[in-house]
Structure 1
Amino acid sequence: MDRARLQQTLTFLPICLALVFSLTALGSSHWCEGTRRVLKPLCQNQPGELHCIHFNRGSSGGGRRDNESQEVQYIWETGEDKFAQLRFHVGLWQSCEESSSGAGEKCRSFHSVIPAEEQGVLWLTIGAEVLDILLVLTSAILLGSGVSGNSSGFDWLEVDAAVAILMVLAGLLGMVAHMMYTTIFQITVNLGPEDWKPQTWDYGWSYCLAWGSFALCMAVLVTATSRYTAARLALTEKRRVQKDSWRSRHNFLEPEASEIVWETRAAPSPAGHALSNVSGHLPPGAPGKVSMC
């Protein structure tokens, strides 16, 4: 395996992990978790019942009251004992809470819980999450086709540039979606229905997975950008060296500009005089002019 394919394989693994994190978070209902305080229902003295108020019906002894509605109920639970702490968890799609009877959970749509003016923002959040997943999936397919196929002739430089662009878009969409969801949930906690408002809450493991996917996208972005920059600089330097070598190899082959050449001959002359200025361009048969100096 060549170096380029090895680098792309190491980049392909965190992209697949980010895709798994995003898909798991999108379908999960554990973005936020907490407890709700609900009033226990009335129940008679039955062993094992934890989420109800125990009471005894008063009796009149020897004489019965004709009006049974006047019977006295003795409530044993007082103060906080009258309330039960039920756990709940919320996601993008639904909100589930523990049943007061302790058997299973009951769920309802999170869309029906949030205020009406925030429902459009919830759909924007879901849309941003879906686009985030599509961009990460596209990056995974692009890298996977290059790693599994024949790498000869495969332009890894363009692949790194495309992956960097896709990852920065996916990271930005994911970050915006997570922040919008946090805002929507906090608004719902303050303005939501009374039978849903939590007493305590915190972020769940799905929320951590969503931000983990964002972190992986940013890591892949940094890796792809640095590798693209290094390859681009190396390619530019290589082209510059080749261009300089080509210039130095062809400089001596360039023709010189043509010039009119005048031949000048010098002949010995008696008495120290020189015979000069003989034109080499006189027509044949023409008498030459000789200057005696």
Structure 2
Amino acid sequence: MSFLSRVRSPKLTFFQTVVSLGLGATALLSSNWCEGSQKVPKPLCTATKVTKCIPVPGVSHNSTSIHFSWETGDDRFVFPAFHAGMWMSCEENIHIDAWEEKCRSFFSLTPGGEKGMLLLSVSMELMYVGLLCISCALQFMQLCLDAFWPTQVWGQLLNAYSAVFTILGGSLGMVAHMMFMQVFQTIASMGPEDFKPHRYGYSWAFYVAWVAFTFCMSSGVSTLNNYTKNFVIERRRKARMYPIQFSDMEPPLPLAPPQLSHPAPHYCPP
């Protein structure tokens, strides 16, 4: 029971909520939900691009003896890396030898039929982070009330409201994660021609988002369990330990006899 009490402690649930908020905000702002590589034809060689390119007479080294490129198959392609998130999609610049990324809005890559789902997913992610902020504020107020007025019931009421906000936020975050991945898979198959992933998978922000969801639901369940323990189980236990003693109750007052009216003057008893 001591272990369960520590797990349900308000300080630990507040710590879990803060960790969930930090990880969720980090994943939301990151552009590393998905990563992979593209299959792009080799660019022409220029003054800034001399490797992994198609030789051009007059530009490439030994260009006087170069007229054609005999590369076939995958040798004619380069595989630049890319990573994408809810806000930006960045890919390696293949037109220069130095490593450089060029980024563009992820919303511009989304087909017209999926823009609404992407906006809904982003809105739910923002609501998820906002509800976690409200939950953190309520739990912090509860800790302050318990520190200064431990016998007040307001702390437990704040605890219950924070549990509702936490669980609701976690549910919205879970749905938003799945909706975004569905949008990305649609873009990978039906997106613009210059964004056709050859290979892609999940990146670190995707796993961070689900770790934040785990902490969020753990905090919400622990908080709700703590409220149930304090308000339901404790009251029932006190009711069993201190039953009502009828001997302690005051005896009822005797009832006064009914008042009879006076007999009439012409009344004659038998």
Band the TM-score falls in, shorter-chain normalisation: 0.7 to 0.9
Does the CA contact (< 8 Å) of 1:96 and 1:106 recur in 2? yes
Aligned counterpart in structure 2 of residue 115 of structure 1, from 96, 111, 119: 111
CA distance in 1 between counterparts of 2:48 and 2:90 reads: 27
Q: Does residue 126 of structure 1 match 2:122?
A: yes
Contact 2:128–2:170 (CA<8 Å) still a contact in 1?
Answer: yes
Q: Which amino acid aligns with 1:210?
A: A
Summarize the Cα distance change of 1:138–1:50 in structure 2 as closer, same or farther, 3 Å threshold. Answer: same
Q: 1:195, 1:48 → 2: CA distance?
A: 20
What is the CA RMSD across the aligned residues, in angstroms? 2.7
Match of 1:79 in 2: 73
Q: Deviations over 1:157-181 (max 9, x none)?
A: 2123112211111011001101110
2:137 corresponds to which of 122, 136, 141? 141
One-letter amino acid of the structure 2 residue matched with residue 33 of structure 1: E
Give the SS at the match of 2:79.
strand
Cα pair distance change 1:77/1:178, threshold 3 Å: same
Residue 24 of structure 1 aligns to a residue in which SS?
helix
Give the CA deviation at 1:75. Answer: 1.3
Q: CA deviation at 1:144?
A: 1.2
Instruction: Tell me the distance in 2 between the aligned counterparts of 1:248 and 1:144.
Output: 46
Offset of 1:256 from its aligned partner? 4.5
| SS of equivalent to 1:183 | helix
- Structure 2 counterpart of 1:30: 32
The answer on 1:255 being equivalent to 2:249 is: no
Distance 2:211 2:49 in 1: 42
Q: 1:16 aligns with which of 15, 18, 26?
A: 18
| Distance in 2 between residues matched to 1:14 and 1:76, nearest whole Å | 60
- How many angstroms apart in 2 are the aligned matches of 1:224 and 1:166? 11
Q: State the Cα deviation string for residues 4-30 of structure 1 (Å, max 9, x = none).
A: 9x9211111110011111111111100
- 8 Å Cα contact 2:167-2:221 kept in structure 1: no
Range 101-110 or range 140-149, more displaced: 140-149
Residues 53 and 77, structure 1, Cα contact 8 Å, conserved in 2: no
Once residues 30 and 157 of structure 2 are traced to their aligned partners in structure 1, the CA distance between those partners, rounded to angstroms, is 35
Secondary structure of 2:103's counterpart equals strand
- Which has more radius of gyration? 1
Contact 1:54 1:76 in 2 (8 A): no
Whole-angstrom CA distance in 1 between matches of 2:232 and 2:165? 22
**2: CA distance, partners of 1:224 / 1:159:** 10
For 2:75, give the aligned amino acid: D
Counterpart of 1:7 in structure 2 is 9
Q: Percent identity between the aligned chains?
A: 33
> What are the superposed Cα offsets for residues 203-231 of structure 1, whole Å, 9 maximum, x if unpaired?
11111111111111111122112212211
Which structure: greater helix fraction? Answer: 2
* Deviating more after overlay: 94-103 vs 169-178: 94-103
Q: 1:56–1:74: 8 Å Cα contact kept in structure 2?
A: no
Equivalent position of 2:223 in the other structure: 224
**Structure 2 residue runs without a partner (length 5+):** 59-64, 259-270
Structure 1 residue 236 displacement after superposition: 2.4
2:263 is matched with none
| Higher RCO (CA < 8 A, seq sep 6+) | 2
Counterpart amino acid of residue 244 in structure 2 = S
Q: How far apart in 2 are the matches of 1:145 and 1:195? A: 51
Where in structure 1 are there 5+ consecutive unaligned residues? Answer: 58-70, 261-293
Corresponding position of 1:53: 54
Aligned CA distance change for structure 1 residues 72 and 48 (closer, same or farther; 3 Å): closer
State the TM-score, normalizing by the size of structure 1: 0.74
Identify if the C-alpha distance between structure 1 residues 73 and 132 changes in structure 2 by more than 3 Å, giving closer, same or farther: same
Counterpart AA for 2:243: D
How many residue pairs were aligned?
Answer: 242
Report the TM-score, using the length of structure 2 for normalisation: 0.80
Higher strand share: 1
Secondary structure, in 3 states, of the residue corresponding to 1:234?
helix
Q: Distance in 2 between matches of 1:178 and 1:25?
A: 10
Displacement of 1:234 in angstroms is: 3.1
